[in-house]
Structure 1
Amino acid sequence: MKVTPRASKDSIGPGDADRLAVRLRAPPVDGAANAALIEFLARHFDLPRRGVSILSGENARLKRVRLSGDPAHLASLLETL
């Protein structure tokens, strides 16, 4: 997943090379963008915040995240992107 902080609005969509592109309004300061990413993904995929975790890339734009939930539901939401 490629995260772009300081965007004009929060959004998610297809990116390049089988990655999702996430744009967040939060600045990349003191973990604000990571916290906003977790909150945004939890809302978008209808998960509790504890169901979203950043596996790698906490200090980079390219991140690996884990979504814990019903695989069929998550797959159907991903297909709509």
Structure 2
Amino acid sequence: MAESLSVRVKPGSTKGPLVETAPDGGLTIYVRERAVDGKANDAVVRVLAEHLGVPRRHVTLVSGATSRQKLFRISARQ
């Protein structure tokens, strides 16, 4: 069973790596990597997997590769 998770990304942030949870439950992920050649997306996958306590292979970017608003699919733990 997979679950979808929408996150807001702040690339090139000096606060990163950091995950903030908004009062409505939404996640904002700050990463130091710039949005060049997919480096920020890779960093977000790494930070999100660590935050959720799942292996990186269970976190898949579904949409928003070039947007700050991204949708990830989190695979069930095995």
Give the TM-score of the pair, scaled to structure 2: 0.78
1:1-81 maps to which residues of 2 (within 5 A)? 1-8=7-14, 9-15=16-22, 19-70=26-77
Kept in 2, the 8 Å contact 1:2–1:15? The answer is: no
1:28 and 1:16 mapped to 2: Cα distance?
A: 27
1:42 and 1:18 mapped to 2: Cα distance?
A: 17
List 4+ stretches of structure 1 deviating above 4 A.
none
1:63 and 1:17 mapped to 2: Cα distance?
A: 17
> How many residues in Structure 1 have an aligned counterpart in Structure 2?
70
Give the TM-score of the pair, scaled to structure 1: 0.76
The CA deviation at 1:16 is: 7.6
The CA deviation at 1:19 is: 2.6
Q: Which has the higher strand share?
A: 2
Q: Flag structure 1 segments of 5+ consecutive residues without an equivalent.
A: 71-81
